[in-house]
Amino acid sequence: MRRKLIAGNWKMNGARASIAELSKLEGLHPDPASEILICPPVTLLAAFEGKTSIPLGAQDCHWETGGAHTGDISAEMLKEAGAQAVILGHSERRTDHGETDADVARKTEAAWRAGLLAIVCIGETEAERDAGETLTVIRQQLQVSLPQGATAENTVIAYEPVWAIGTGRTPTLDQVAEVHDDIRASLEGRLGAEIAGGIRLLYGGSVKPANAAAIFEIANVDGGLIGGASLKAEDFAGIVAAAETQRSP
Ligand code: PGA
Each residue's pLDDT tens digit, 108-151? 999 999 999 999 999 999 999 999 999 999 999 999 999 999 99
Which amino acid is residue 31, in one-letter code? D
Cα–Cα distances (Å) from 240 to 23, 51, 217, in that order, read 15, 21, 13
Cα–Cα distances (Å) from 213 to 202, 203, 207, in that order, read 13, 12, 10
pTM above 0.95, yes or no: yes
Mutation test of ligand 1: which of 39, 96, 160 has the most ligand atoms closer than 8 Å to its C-beta? 160
Q: Please state, in angstroms and rounded to a whole number, the distance separating the CA atoms of residues 66 and 85.
A: 18
| H or E, element range at 102 | helix 101-114
**Which residues pair with residue 117 across a beta bridge?**
85
Q: Please state, in angstroms and rounded to a whole number, the distance separating the CA atoms of residues 225 and 57.
A: 12
Ligand 1 centroid distance, CA of 139 (Å): 21
Band the pLDDT of 29: cuts 50, 70, 90. low
Instruction: Please provide residue 9's backbone torsions phi and psi, each rounded to the nearest 5 degrees.
Output: -110, 105
Each residue's pLDDT tens digit, 63-118? 999 999 999 999 999 999 999 999 999 999 999 999 999 999 999 999 999 999 99
Band the pLDDT of 27: cuts 50, 70, 90. confident
Each residue's pLDDT tens digit, 209-242? 999 999 999 999 999 999 999 999 999 999 999 9
